[in-house]
A and B are shown apart, each in its own frame.
Chain A
Amino acid sequence: MKKIGVFVCWCGLNISSTVDVGKASEELKNYPGVFYADDYKYLCSDPGQELIKKTIIDNKLEGIVVAACSPNMHESTFRAAAEAAGLNPYRVEITNIREQTSWVHSNKEDATIKAIQLIKATVEKVKKSEDLFPQQIPLTKKVLVIGGGISGMTVALEVAEAGYPVILVEKEPQIGGNMAKLSETFPTLDCASCILTPKTAEVGRHSNITLMTNSEVVESSGYFGNFTVKIKRKPTFVDWEKCIGCMLCQEKCPKKTNSDFEHGMGKRKAISVAFPQAIPYRPIINEKECIYFKTGKCKMCVKVCPVDCIEFEQLENIVEENIGAIVVASGYELLPKEKLSEYGQGKYADVIDGMQFERIASASGPTEGVIRRPSDGKIPQSIVFIQCAGSRDNQKDRPYCSKICCMYTAKHAMLYKHQVHDGTATVFYMDIRAGGKGYEEFVQRAIEDDHVLYLRGRVARVYEEDGKLVVLGVDTLSSEQVRIEADLVVLATAVIPSEKAKVLGQTLKVGTDAYGFFNEAHPKLRPVESMTKGVFLAGCAQAPRDIPETVSQATGAAAKVITMFSKNHLVSDPQVAKVNEKICVGCLQCEPICPYKAIEPETIEVRIGHTVEKRQVATINKGLCQGCGACSVACRSGAMNLSGFSNEQILEELKALCL
């Protein structure tokens, strides 16, 4: 039998007016296992805590029950006091006789009976308690950031500035992501590259940031604080160390092809750098287009290169890195136009998407910022913008709002009207969602000052007739069917996660939703953490969002990483699951129920008589387990238990309450 102490708090009159605290402590004195019981006016006060400490030491108590306010208030206070007196803090349990007893009942007799019963139940729980010790988990203070767009760069810079090493992995040859392609940004109309270039340059030269562009994460193992990742570095066929970025190769390369960076709006060479401000400013050869790779002849780049850095024989290689935390910032793409069969399925050259419009409106784009339509280079006299092209559309399996389109469409229409004053810009919208600082004012400016015509309704069809694009729409406010002949149609196609997000999610063991956006740990309270401890989320990888929101979230993710790295060890809550290997049958019913993937099979050796047998059992990664206890219920053999809320503790508590 343990020596247990019981302390009943009056909380001034808060408890004592409804619960007869004296009677309670008196009755507990005679309860089996209770060595000491008393009541006190304010246990949370300094003298109260001193009393507890002294009593523990004087009586060599092995466990205590504090009957007071909610454990949410002072559990940590009393556990700390007990620890100071040499008692394991997990030997301390709180009985809630204030919030859940004295304050909610008015009959003193009933309340006292209930309080006594609750305290007895807690005594039973303490009897079954164990010493628990927080585990120290080692920590590699280095972060892997996946994605070199504005969110990934923000995370990288924040963490690097805090003094920790960062590996920034980007699948494209250069960083900058989607933002590098934008013309101007809402709601201020400042040019995207003007605000982005200083950032990319800083990332490029920061001593704490290792940049791995043209690379992808292909494998990940370990757990928070201690991940090992494998990064595939795809060949560039140019020795970037030697290269001086003179770009003679690009100038002289005879092979011209469509540029992905320009989204088909412009051309590039088979050896090229995507855009003039690219970081790193180093060219890459596209294996599929290069004449030498196809025919074995040409080598023009080799001929003109002054530093002899072309390496046709370069191979991909895999590098392994040990890191402590991962930030996923894999960004977004746009729903391909081919999926929108009612808007031409991508077969009309002059039906373009938002990003293509960005390129033709960008001063550094293929038209040098003059808005010309792709088919013949004419300046369009009439543009129709179609919002919600694929978004908010169950039929296209994208029932969600893409969030950024209302704003960028207003911006597009404005940019156009600023260039072509007598042109007409028509926007088809369903709702204008302009929640954000200065956003609504921005949209109103487009309507009032720039005379952009906003029609409330969706477009049924776009087709070509007599060299014009015909847009069949409706204005539901006037109930009129609308037929507009346009020179250019811009579709605000749905924001979708990066094509490789799902695979990346599987690699990192982080869940994605039905559309491929990464799931956050809690939609309100843990928006930048994933369900996998140590993996954080930033930017459009998690959901569609605009630049200011992305930057805020990325900064938040960086703060989470920095907080994690601010300690020398990670400490894990000891109130986690544990397996009794003796009775575990290794059925692993617990494995799929664990939301944190903390359970894995393990083969152990068991000595039976003179032979040693190998047997599979479940094992808990205490770093990953968060202590929900779902596995303990799923366990058929009863081998799985939860420290701090063990089956025995709950059952004893229960029994005492049922009497």
Chain B
Amino acid sequence: MKYSYFPGCTLHTQTKNFNDSIKSTSAILDIELEELKDWQCCGAVYPLTTDSAMGLVSPYRSLQKAHECGNNLVTVCSACYNVLKRTNLTVANDGEIRTKLSNYMDVDEYAGESKVLHLLEAMRENNGFGIIKEKTINPLKGLKVAPYYGCLLLRPSKELKFDDPENPTIFEEFIKSIGAVAVDFPNRIECCGAYVSITSQRKVKGASESILKSASNREADIIITSCPLCYHNLAKEQERLEKDDYTFKPIPILYFTQLLALALGLEVESCGFESNKIDARPILKSKGLIYRGDA
């Protein structure tokens, strides 16, 4: 299957290693991701006001372009997904805004005909988890993976229709397909505090800490996420926890495609573990899942 691909700002820059793992794994899975030309930032948050359409200009441009390419649009970053999918729905349902945006940008009107998909959704659509299972040559046996969904993938569920907002299963399916064990931890659907950390890391302490503790209570080896901001907040909070609470054992946080890369038998080096804030290699090594790599 061929899709237009929207990497988004963070995957394009700070967490390039995530993007690399997406590209290398999707190639193996026959998911052809063609990066949109001249894509621009989605805006990071979907505008929640009714009286200003400016926040929609940027996502609308990307959607409109993808449609011109004739493909459905795939994105992986949770924030990009949330913004693009909601914008897609808005322009499909609201003709007034659609016309306004098109006139403003001087482009053909686009009424949400293409689909916006998260990579996981694209996988689910095409029996991707079955294919992953088939193509997994290094099943991550015995690895306890805590899938952290966060907020933007799941909510608002009426618009995103990604999964059950309270009891999602798509990450669990994914984890099963790479041979690992999914850890069911209650806080997997709670928010990490998101952008609030720009004002002070302290304010997101409560939110992030309870997620980490919840995963650690269930003895997770690894936490996976799909959102670079969650990744950041959780990692920062672990830094603090390590200092303040000597009983706390840090849990590596990985982008889900990094684990996928490992399972599909890519070289450890190309999984990008070295760029993660907490090194996952020691635990992977202790589980006998990798033999090489610095640690």
Contact = CB atoms under 8 A, between A and B. Distances in A.
Say whether A and B bind each other: yes
Interface residues of A, number: 11
B186 A464 contact: yes
Given A465-B214, A466-B217, A341 B186 contact: no
A341 B166 contact: yes
Contacts of B269: none
Interface in A430-478: 461, 463-466, 470
Nearest to B214: A465
B186 A470 contact: yes
Nearest to B187: A463
A342 B168 CA distance: 11
A463 B187 CA distance: 9
Contacts of B186: 461, 463-465, 470
B239 interface: no
A345 interface: yes
A54 interface: no
A461 B166 contact: yes
B164 A341 contact: yes
Nearest to A346: B167
Nearest to A345: B167
B167 A341 contact: yes
- Residue among B165, B166, B214, B217 with most chain A CB within 10 A: B166
The interface residues of chain B, by DSSP majority, are classed as: loop
A91 to B, nearest CB: 62
A347 interface: yes
Nearest to A342: B166
B245 to A, nearest CB: 18
Interface string B251-287: 0000000000000000000000000000000000000
B166 A345 contact: yes
A466 B213 CA distance: 12
A466 B167 CA distance: 18
* Chain B residues touching A, range: under 10
Highest count of chain A CB atoms <10 Å: which of B165, B186, B214, B217: B186
A499 B82 CA distance: 37
A342 B166 CA distance: 6
Contacts of A461: 166, 186
Contacts of A470: 186
A344 B189 CA distance: 13
Contact of B167 (A347, A464, A465): A347
Contacts of A463: 186
A212 B270 CA distance: 73
A657 to B, nearest CB: 51
A347 B172 CA distance: 16
Contacts of B214: 465
Nearest to A343: B166
Nearest to A464: B186
Nearest to B185: A465
**Residue picked from A463, A464, A466, A470, most chain B C-beta under 10 Å:** A463
A652 B271 CA distance: 93
A465 B217 CA distance: 9
A152 B217 CA distance: 53
B185 to A, nearest CB: 9
B53 to A, nearest CB: 28
B217 A341 contact: no
B62 to A, nearest CB: 31
Nearest to A461: B166
Contacts of B165: 341
Interface string B154-191: 00000000001111000000000000000000100000
Interface in B62-107: none
A342 B189 CA distance: 11
B210 to A, nearest CB: 10
Interface in A308-350: 341-342, 344-345, 347
Contacts of A341: 164-167
Interface string B199-227: 00000000000000010010000000000
Contacts of A465: 186, 214, 217
B220 to A, nearest CB: 14
A461 B166 CA distance: 9
A484 to B, nearest CB: 14
Contacts of A344: 167
A341 B155 CA distance: 14
Interface in A379-399: none
Interface in A575-633: none
A446 to B, nearest CB: 30
Contacts of B164: 341, 345
A345 B169 CA distance: 13
A345 B168 CA distance: 11
Interface string A133-146: 00000000000000
A392 B49 CA distance: 28
A370 to B, nearest CB: 30
Contacts of B166: 341-342, 345, 461
B211 to A, nearest CB: 13
Nearest to A470: B186
A556 to B, nearest CB: 42
A83 B166 CA distance: 73
A464 B214 CA distance: 11
A464 B183 CA distance: 13
A461 B214 CA distance: 15
A463 B184 CA distance: 11
A627 B217 CA distance: 72
Nearest to B168: A341
Interface in A111-154: none
A361 B217 CA distance: 34
A463 B167 CA distance: 10
Contacts of A466: 217
B122 to A, nearest CB: 24
A342 B164 CA distance: 10
A454 to B, nearest CB: 26
A347 B164 CA distance: 14
A520 B104 CA distance: 55
Of B164, B167, B214, most A-chain CB atoms within 10 Å: B167
A466 B218 CA distance: 9
A470 B217 CA distance: 14
Nearest to B158: A395
In the A-B complex, list the 3 residue pairs whose CB atoms are closest, starting with the nearest. Answer: A341-B166, A463-B186, A342-B166
12 contacts: A341-B164, A342-B166, A344-B167, A345-B164, A345-B166, A347-B167, A461-B166, A461-B186, A463-B186, A464-B186, A465-B186, A466-B217
Interface of A: 341-342, 344-345, 347, 461, 463-466, 470
Interface of B: 164-167, 186, 214, 217
Given A345-B164, A465-B186, A466-B217, 16 more contacts: A341-B164, A341-B165, A341-B166, A341-B167, A342-B166, A344-B167, A345-B166, A345-B167, A347-B167, A461-B166, A461-B186, A463-B186, A464-B186, A465-B214, A465-B217, A470-B186
